[in-house]
Structure 1
Amino acid sequence: MTTSVQAQVLAAVAKIFDNKVPFHNLLGMDIKRYDIDGIEVVVNMKQELIGNIHQQILHGGVTATVLDVVGGLTAFSGLVASRDDWSMEELQTRLQTLGTIDLRIDYLRPGRGEQFTGTGTVIRAGNRVSVCRMELHNEKGDHIAFGTGTYMVG
């Protein structure tokens, strides 16, 4: 699979996650970048995402959701990059069974900010299971949370 085909596959996956998943739309998730080298998922703060009304901070469940989505997409890009002979049918089947096995979130500071960006890296890309590290930062670069996720990719 050439780099351009990999890019096409990941662009199609990003479009699905950006436009077709109702919960992602409810939260306002926006995939700004998704390629073999990384991912950026952005959520803009809005009243509906506040978890602590006294401190006006992002709900921890939103943080966990963004990191989980970033982790799943990161795991899938690691899978796509792991071989150059994937068929589109194989990748579609793998995408349909992509799921979270385990997720750990460490909340480092309150979710204050106007815009939050989730990024991810692959720790281990396996044929069946992948492990990823994810981070969430606000627009000032403050590290809000990080996570480690284990994902079923096959």
Structure 2
Amino acid sequence: MSNTDKTWTGNLLLHEHHDSDQMVEQLCAAFNQAPFFQHVGMQMRVRQGQIEGYFEMQPYLIGNKAFQILHGGVAATFLDSVGGVIAMAEVYHRRHVEDLHETSKKISRLATVDMRVDYLAPGRGQYFIARGKILRFGRKGCTVRMTMVNDEEKAIATAIASYAY
């Protein structure tokens, strides 16, 4: 496995035993080191056993200056990123212990195939959180539903995405 593969799969060593929770924590940490996430201040984290994304509103994320509203592309990117991490975590959760090498290969190939975003309210808030849920999990891909809320728990956008691996 190359260093790039190890970085994007949470720096897991194939010969060591890892429990699923440890893998998910490492996966979130790997995403948090990505230059894009660091630039916009997005973080992946685990709260009460569930993966969630988090970022604070910044002036450079505004898409509508007159109304001080978050750019829709930021919301879509955020939802897609959270869905991707959730999909990767589910691949890890469902792996066979002896199949860590094959699982890591799947993770490194994971890609968004299709995504639909519904914008429910203007993107206003001090911060935003996104969570998701696996709707379908198959041999070659999965479907995830994600929702982004603001600091008042108001739903800002929702998405459904299909990921192939």
Q: What is the TM-score when the length of structure 2 is the normalising length?
A: 0.84
Q: Deviations over 1:102-153 (max 9, x none)?
A: 0100000100001000101000111211000000000101000000000012
Matched, 1:90 2:83: no
Equivalences for 1:135-154 in 2 at 5 Å?
Answer: 135-153=147-165
Which amino acid is the alignment partner of residue 141 of structure 1? E
Indicate the residue corresponding to 1:22 in structure 2: 35
Indicate the residue corresponding to 1:103 in structure 2: 115
Which amino acid is the alignment partner of residue 157 of structure 2? A
Indicate the residue corresponding to 1:123 in structure 2: 135
Return the alpha-carbon distance in structure 2 between the equivalents of residues 24 and 92 of structure 1: 22
Matched, 1:10 2:24: yes
The percentage of aligned residue pairs carrying the same residue is: 34
SS in 1 for 2:19: helix
2:44 and 2:82 in contact (8 A); partners too: no
Q: What is the TM-score when the length of structure 1 is the normalising length?
A: 0.89
1:79 and 1:126 in contact (8 A); partners too: no
Indicate the residue corresponding to 2:7 in structure 1: none
RMSD, aligned α-carbons: 1.8
Q: Deviations over 1:38-73 (max 9, x none)?
A: 211101001010010000011101100110011111
Equivalences for 1:33-44 in 2 at 5 Å?
Answer: 33=46, 37-44=49-56
Structure 1 residue runs of 4 or more that deviate by more than 6 Å after TM superposition: none
Q: CA deviation at 1:34?
A: 6.6
Any gaps of 5 or more consecutive residues in structure 1? none
Return the alpha-carbon distance in structure 1 between the equivalents of residues 98 and 55 of structure 2: 32
Q: Are residues 98 and 134 of structure 1, via their aligned partners in 2, closer, same or farther at CA, if it must alter by over 3 Å?
A: same
Which amino acid is the alignment partner of residue 148 of structure 2? L
Any gaps of 5 or more consecutive residues in structure 2? 1-17
Indicate the residue corresponding to 1:70 in structure 2: 82
SS in 2 for 1:110: coil
